[in-house]
Chain A
Amino acid sequence: MWESFVEGAHLCLRWDTFGMMSLGLLLGILVGALPGFTTTMAMAILLPISFFVHPLVGIPFLIGVYKGGIYGGSISAILVSIPGTGAAVATTFDGPALTKKGQARKALEIALYASVFGDFSSDVLTLFFIGPIALVALKVGPPELAAIVLLSLVIISTTSTGAAVKGLIMCFIGLLFSMVGQDPLGFMSRFTFGIFAVRAGIPLLPMLIGVFAIPEILGAIEKEVSSFISEKVDLSKVGERLRYEEFRRCFRTILRSTGIGAALGACPGVGQVVAAFVGYASAKKASNHPETFGKGELEGVAAAEAANNAVNGPTLVPLLTLGIPGDNITAILLGAFVAQGLRPGPTLFAEQGPTVFGILVAMLLANILFLILGYLAIPVFARIVTVRKSILLPVISVFAFAGSYVFRSDPFDLQILVFFGILGYVARKLQFDVSPMVMAFILGPILEYSFGQTVNLAGENVLRYIFVERPFAAGIFMLIPLVSFLFLVRSIRRRRKAEAHDSGLKGGET
């Protein structure tokens, strides 16, 4: 094993590997930043390039696109409130607010450092614990997935801002939207009202762009200010860099999110989006100042970005050890492996050890290139916010519409964009937070699907099946009330403290 590792490390130390990996990263960042172009699409299009080159050039190239794409989504999320990919949704909670405060560059930098840290650590974990992760991955079937998603929902739902009832209402609206289209188990059409285009469900990206970007654009038009960022901000400070203390302050959050992301990444079917939500929610829960989250908190950006990138390493494990892709991205990577004559599966490590380790080492090295390239790209992107609003807003609108269309090339998606844009705008005016809706929309189907499968698998007695045959799932289900209780205690204690603090102040005044 050790010999294959060393041999593999030698194999990937070639100039063309580095060159193609850098190219892949740049393309990935660019594609991720462009709304509507998903990382999956970019990888599918670029896949043939990897067919005709050496495996240790072609596959690292695609891995570069993958890593870059997951990060790239955060750029447009931070700057113009358009999540370029689903994974960047949680980044829009704090990123755009930071931009408005004139701290775009800081936000981009913390996003980069958090992403690279999350990615790098998860790759190291993957390299050393590939066996155990593979075991966990196989243990996670539908009941476990249902339990994990339910637990995630509980963690996430406790963090919405504003009135709890409003959050709950939005959550239910999101669930309702998620049910539109063919139901995953029985193939029946639900809530489609005979409209053929929504038979496949409401597409995620047009909806995301609608609820996040359109209200932002309309809001900016309303204010009639000449610049996208608030006028009170000293414009000379727009380019201000991240300070070391600020990074230190975020470090605990980054560590926590990396752990969460890597753990969720080991469970097939969970994915980056959920990881980013849970990472963000946990950071908010753990913070001494949860009230600053959602209003431009660096830690919020760091939490989401570290978590979504930390998923990247472990998701490759089922692919490498069993030849089973967990999502579309790994399915494309599988294609690249297969076209190179490397057949991922139980015998891959025995037959192709050095090459596989070479790829894993290349993954580690990709993170270093990622850091450098991202660092060089940030000043370019950060300048966008200094563009005059009269130019910037139309451009963003064009990107919002083009991005929604390009996702599936279906003109109907533009109507979806407009519908959700108006919905998002109205919600904002009525002070409803749209994030619970989006979270429910994304998590709902995973929960429904895995729950449906569990019921099918269980036969007559679902409870018996879960508690007798699936101890792992039962364990997670038991955690749910425990976690809820802990959260409750914590928030009561915090409220008491705040009250005591308030009365103390009042006492001082009189």
Chain B
Amino acid sequence: MSRKLIFRFLLVGVILVFVSSGTALAAGYPSKPITMIIPLSAGGSHDLNARVFTSIIPEYLGQPVVVKLMPGAGGQTGTAAAVRAKPDGYTLIFTHNYIDQLQPLIEKLPYDTTKALVTVWRLNYAPPIVFVRSDKPWKTLEELLDYGRKNPGKLQFAHSGNWGATFTPGAIMLSKAGVNAQFIPYKGGGPAMAAILAGDADFHLAFPSVVLPHAKAGKVRLLAVAGDKRLKEIPEVRCFKELGFQGGVMERIIMAPRKMPEDRLVILRQAFRKLYDDKTFKNMMGKLAENMESMDGPEYEKLRAEQKKEYTELVERITGEKIKGK
């Protein structure tokens, strides 16, 4: 009996080795768990979105997807790891447009995201909303910007980190309108939100899930929503496009090394497509108050090229320096 037991253990061991090495069964990708790098910190909106889709997509991939948080240097630590990873489709990155296309314009980085990474899927996008505390005098965005123009350096803009998801739309708006405001960095959206509620700073941008409850409670006044569309929850608030600004939304994207085999990319995209018909997924995304505006990889690649142009202009306008090699 004991010999039988040993044999069984050996068998299980052999199977485990095969399963974990994966290469032996390469025909059926994926044959081992996929790692999803998030270059941002725990508890952020990326983390939350990832926890939802990684707990449901295994049904369509046949393998678990493991989230690996690699925060640091505004997303550069995780991005570098994703670029360095073996292009076998077992390491992906869940990132956003500013890390992908804007940061390389600001700093010299040891990687080129456009060359190294290809879009698998755009999960959704999040439009930040410009708002002020309700007791502030500005009723519309124009009034806010007018005040800023007349009082250079007075208007205090609380943002959640340089060249991040709230900084960039704010910068787009201020630089286009010719307002010289005081940029005050906060450690993430939470403290910046608190600064507005406490009256420490004048205005901030935050995602709908964060700011809508405060608007409902009458604590803050919403002035504009970034992007090309108004939100159905707040149809009275105008969008950036109507106000003459461009872009400003955060695109949540899943990317893979560009050198990865094409057929594996197709498998991944198919799994994501199926995910969008999944009831649990729809339900959970609804609870998170996130939209389901997905976009296929090839389509997003076109958007990516536009972003690069747009951000180059923005950075040149703000820093006053020409960016070489664009």
The chain A residues found within 8 Å of chain B, CB to CB, are: 40-41, 43-45, 47-48, 51, 137-139, 141-142, 181-182, 184-187, 189, 196-197, 199-201, 203, 268-269, 318, 322-326, 328-335, 338-341, 343-347, 408-410, 449, 452-453, 456-457, 459
Contact = CB atoms under 8 A, between A and B. Distances in A.
A17 to B, nearest CB: 21
B81 interface: yes
A43 B162 contact: no
Contact of A457 (B68, B156, B188): B156
B197 interface: yes
A459 B51 contact: no
B77 A47 contact: no
Contacts of B163: 187
> Which of A51, A182, A326 lies at the interface centre, i.e. has the most chain B CB atoms within 10 A of its CB?
A51
Given A184-B185, A328-B41, A345 B73 contact: no
Contact of A200 (B43, B72, B162): B72
Interface in B208-266: 209-210, 213-214, 216-217, 219
Nearest to A49: B55
Interface residues of B, number: 57
Contacts of B43: 40, 44, 325, 328-335
Contact of A138 (B77, B187, B197, B287): B197
B314 interface: no
16 contacts: A40-B43, A43-B42, A51-B55, A197-B77, A199-B73, A201-B73, A269-B187, A322-B193, A331-B47, A338-B209, A341-B287, A345-B217, A409-B70, A453-B185, A453-B186, A456-B185
> Which of B42, B106, B110, B197 lies at the interface centre, i.e. has the most chain A CB atoms within 10 A of its CB?
B42
A339 B52 contact: yes
B201 A196 contact: no
Nearest to B80: A196
Say what secondary structure dominates the interface of chain B.
mixed
Contacts of A44: 42-43, 47, 51, 67, 69
A408 B77 contact: yes
B47 A459 contact: no
Given A142-B200, A347-B217, A322 B194 contact: yes
Nearest to A184: B185
A339 B287 contact: yes
Nearest to B162: A187
B184 interface: yes
Contact of B110 (A139, A187, A196, A269): A196
A345 B69 CA distance: 27
Interface string B275-289: 000000000100111
Given A142-B200, A196-B80, A268-B191, A331 B42 contact: yes
A333 B43 CA distance: 8
A62 to B, nearest CB: 11
B76 interface: yes
B287 A340 contact: yes
A51 B184 contact: no
Contacts of B186: 453
Nearest to A43: B42
Interface in B60-87: 67-74, 76-77, 80-81
A45 B107 CA distance: 32
Nearest to A449: B187
A324 B194 contact: yes
B44 interface: yes
> Which of A48, A186, A329 lies at the interface centre, i.e. has the most chain B CB atoms within 10 A of its CB?
A48
